Amino acid sequence: MKLLEYQAKAVFEKYGIPIQKGVVVDAVEGIDEKIRGADLRFPIVIKAQVQIGGRGKAGGVKFADTPEEAAKLCGEMLGMDIRGFTAKELLVLEKKDIAKEWYLSIMLDRYSKSPLLIFSPQGGMDIEETARTNPERIAKVPIDPIRGVQDYTITYALDKTGADGQYRDKLKEVVEKLYRMFFDYYTMLVEINPLALDDQGRLVALDGKVEVDDNALPFLPDITAFRDKLQEDPQVIEARNVNFLFIPIEDEGNIAVMSNGSGMLMSCIDLISKKGMKVHAALDLGGGATAERIAEAVRIMLGRPKIDTVFICIFGGITRCDEVAKGAVIAMQKNEAAGKHLILRMEGTNKEEAAKIIAESNLPITVAEGIPNSVDAIYRIKHEKKGA
Ligand code: GDP
Ligand code: MN
């Protein structure tokens, strides 16, 4: 789960990482009072709260010198679109005078099997440009999880990038706090860009990006509470509420793939894509494929009007295929399934009985053997539809 900037900063604050004073606004009415009420010193900076970076370049970061200008800009920025995300909230902050913009992040690095510290004294909006043209100004330092952050971790990061060594202790303090947060909150990524060096030599987190491992959310009620404010896909929410994992894939696609296991799901998607077709969404059923669960999953899938073909691929030892078949029939008898086609591949107990249930249903359900045959069947059905 990716947090919004102000949510990330609320966690920074808990760890004593310095941030600017600010207030969140979410409605045009009363903006003026809200900003005045927060007692901010002008000039201020107004930032669109969206779960995507590069806001500065997309017009999502603006500055104002007076309360009037602030209110006007907030009115313009609320609801604005930033690369497909809507700014439902804005973060209004006291503008910081800054001398330097640094980049700092810690991510989980599967290659070194440890947290990886990434630092650059040339951060800010052009960090990607720095990575391309001045890679020597970016240091990547694995942190041994047993030893933690050491003096040499920071010394190396500063020396390697040609940064000013006099800030070693200050940087170490911030890295240590961020590192603690990285573990406590089961994050995949914590990023501060820019970590600004102000005119008095203090380090302040001007921006914050935090990505938490979804599997840890049951242990993190404070983070889970943030979810209401995020822009989430309605089917993702619906599926999550009944313990399915719904994964939107390609918006232009109109095939849905459902399976019990993410590996098989990916194989199915690969084979479908290889045949030149596009998958709109996938759904991991998890364990326990009962008729009700199958029917529910198909219903969620058909909540996407673009989906016209649903592929269900079940590979189970003790999974009862007749249950899967019953679920498919229940789902396809519903109104919302009109004009849609279902392809069913299943392995498990009572396979013959399942095939019989489907055959007798007289519904647009095709039973196929194995994944490649199923993909061929999807291809045929889609081409027949086009031809019709
Ligand atoms: P991003 O573009 O989504 O990463 O948004 P940021 O929050 O990082 O803001 C983009 C840029 O705006 C930063 O790199 C800074 O250059 C600038 N900026 C943001 N806040 C302040 C501030 O308080 N003072 C100053 N001087 N610049 C700021
Ligand atoms: Mn940033």
pLDDT attached to residue 208: 98
Under 8 Å between Cβ of 350 and 360: no
- Residue 97 Cα to ligand 2 midpoint, Å, equals 16
Co-location of 211 and 240 in the same domain = no
| pLDDT tens sequence across 360-381 | 999 999 999 999 999 999 999 9
Give residue 250's identity as a one-letter amino acid code: E
Name the band, by pLDDT with cuts 50, 70 and 90, for residue 296: very high
Q: Is 45 in the pocket of ligand 1 (CB under 6 A)?
A: yes
What CATH code is carried by the domain that includes residue 296?
3.40.50.261
Number of domains the chain is built from: 3
- Nearest atom, ligand 1, residue 93 CA: 23
Same domain, 90 and 152: no
Nearest CA to ligand 1 atom 19: 206
User: CA-to-CA distance for 33 and 38, rounded, in angstroms?
Assistant: 8
Q: Rounded to the nearest whole angstrom, what is the distance from the C-alpha of residue 144 to the centroid of ligand 2?
A: 27
pLDDT grade for 336, boundaries at 50, 70 and 90: confident
Residue 318 confidence (pLDDT) above 80: no
pLDDT band at 178 (very low <50, low <70, confident <90, very high): very high
Q: Residue range 309-320: average pLDDT?
A: 89
Q: Is the pLDDT of residue 388 over 70?
A: no
Question: Are both 193 and 60 inside the same structural domain?
Answer: no
Shared domain for 159 and 274, answered yes or no, is no
pLDDT at 381: 95
**Within a domain: residue 8?**
no
pLDDT score for 250: 95
Say whether both 338 and 368 belong to one domain.
yes
Residue 215 tokens, joined = 């599997």
* Residue 324 counted as domain residue: yes
Q: What percentage of the chain has pLDDT greater than the value 70?
A: 99
Closest C-alpha among 307, 366, 360 to residue 336 = 307
Please return the burial class of 329, using the count of CB atoms within 10 Å of its CB with bins 0-12, 13-18 and 19+.
buried
Mean pLDDT (whole number) for 313-334? 91
Q: Known catalytic residues?
A: 103, 191
pLDDT, tens only, 101-141: 999 999 999 999 999 999 999 999 999 999 999 999 999 99
Domain end point (choices 186, 206, 226): 226
Statement to judge: residues 251 and 374 lie in one domain: yes
Same domain, 340 and 373: yes
In a shared domain, residues 55 and 131: no
pLDDT at position 50 = 97
- Residues 316, 356: one domain? yes
Q: Does ligand 1 lie within 6 Å of residue 9's CB atom?
A: no
The residue whose CB lies within 8 Å of the most ligand 1 atoms, and thus the one to mutate among 45, 63, 191, 203, is: 45
pLDDT-based confidence at 337, cuts 50/70/90? confident
> Is 12 inside any structural domain?
no
Provide the pLDDT for residue 289.
79
pLDDT in tens, 235-254: 999 999 999 999 999 999 99
Backbone angles phi, psi at 102, to 5 degrees: -105, 160
Average pLDDT over residues 176-198: 97
Is any ligand 1 atom within 6 A of the Cβ of residue 240? no
- Looking at every residue in the chain, the average pLDDT score rounds to 95
Beta carbon of 95 within 6 Å of any ligand 1 atom? yes
Considering the domain boundaries, does residue 285 fall inside one?
A: yes
Claim to verify: residue 247 and residue 363 sit in the same structural domain: yes
CATH of the domain at 159: 3.30.470.20
Sign of CA dihedral 368, 370, 375, 376: negative
Q: What share of the chain is helix, strand, coil (3-state, %, to 5)?
A: 40, 25, 30
Q: What is the pLDDT of residue 299?
A: 95
**Any domain includes 117:** yes
Locus of tokens 């406590």: 184
Instruction: Examine the fold and report which residue of 205, 226, 247 is the final residue of a domain before the chain moves on.
Output: 226
34: CATH: 3.30.1490.20
Q: Which of 49, 79, 94 is the last residue of a domain?
A: 94
Tell me, what's the pLDDT at 386?
72
Is the pLDDT at 200 greater than 80, yes or no? yes
Cα 170 to middle of ligand 1, angstroms = 21
β-pairing, 365-367 vs 341-349, is: parallel
State pLDDT tens for residues 7-61. Answer: 999 999 999 999 999 999 999 888 888 888 999 999 999 999 999 999 999 999 9
Q: Which ligand is nearest to the CA of 98?
A: 1
Asked if the structure places residue 5 within a domain, the reply is: no
* 228 pLDDT more than 70: yes
In residues, how long is the chain?
388
Is the same domain home to 264 and 340? yes
| Within a domain: 3 | no
Q: Does 200 lie in the same domain as 79?
A: no
Is residue 29 a part of any domain in this protein?
Answer: yes
Omega of the bond leading into 43 within 30 degrees of 0 (cis):
yes
For ligand 2, the distance from its centroid to the CA atom of residue 4, given in whole angstroms, is 12
Which domain covers residue 76, as residue numbers?
A: 21-94
Q: How many Å separate Cα 246 from the centre of its chain?
A: 13
Band (pLDDT 50/70/90 cuts) for residue 286 is confident
